[in-house]
Amino acid sequence: DTEVTQTPKHLVMGMTNKKSLKCEQHMGHRAMYWYKQKAKKPPELMFVYSYEKLSINESVPSRFSPECPNSSLLNLHLHALQPEDSALYLCASSLGASDQETQYFGPGTRLLVL
């Protein structure tokens, strides 16, 4: 089983709203990732969690706030987003965060900021 689940599938929010994206995996993976993908572009890495600790933040604006409550869950808290933040947000996980690990992606949350 290589399933990563994400909720919600779609989200529309205003620029003053606060919302959260959720990601879950039950594969025993200890590394989890958030990516952002715009149309016709490859996924762009936002954050990496390794063993529930934030290990990489790719200079993401503070209006995006990740959280890893436990080894199976990863959240992305959104606040005061801009219309240009509209994108597909992808979660991924891998067994570890070191060498030659395969990342498995969830289906994504399509976010529209109005």
Residue 94 beta carbon to other proteins: minimum distance, rounded to whole angstroms: 5
Distance separating alpha carbons of residues 28 and 60, to the nearest angstrom: 27
Chosen residue from 16, 62, 70, 100 binding other proteins by CB under 8 A: 100
Among residues 41 and 77, whose Cβ is nearest to other proteins?
41
Q: 85: which 2 tokens?
A: 């933040």
Pairing of strands 10-13, 109-113: parallel
Residue 56 beta carbon to other proteins: minimum distance, rounded to whole angstroms: 7
Distance separating alpha carbons of residues 64 and 13, to the nearest angstrom: 14
Pairing of strands 31-37, 44-50: antiparallel
Under a CB-based contact definition with an 8 Å cutoff, are residues 47 and 34 in contact? yes
Using rule CB under 8 A, residue 88 touches other proteins = yes
Using rule CB under 8 A, residue 31 touches other proteins = yes
Among residues 18 and 54, whose Cβ is nearest to other proteins?
54
Chosen residue from 34, 49, 64, 104 binding other proteins by CB under 8 A: 104
φ, ψ for residue 84, nearest 5 deg: -70, -5
Using rule CB under 8 A, residue 102 touches other proteins = yes
Q: Which residues bind other proteins (CB under 8 A)?
A: 2, 4, 6, 31, 33, 40-43, 45, 48, 56, 88, 90, 92, 94, 96-108, 110
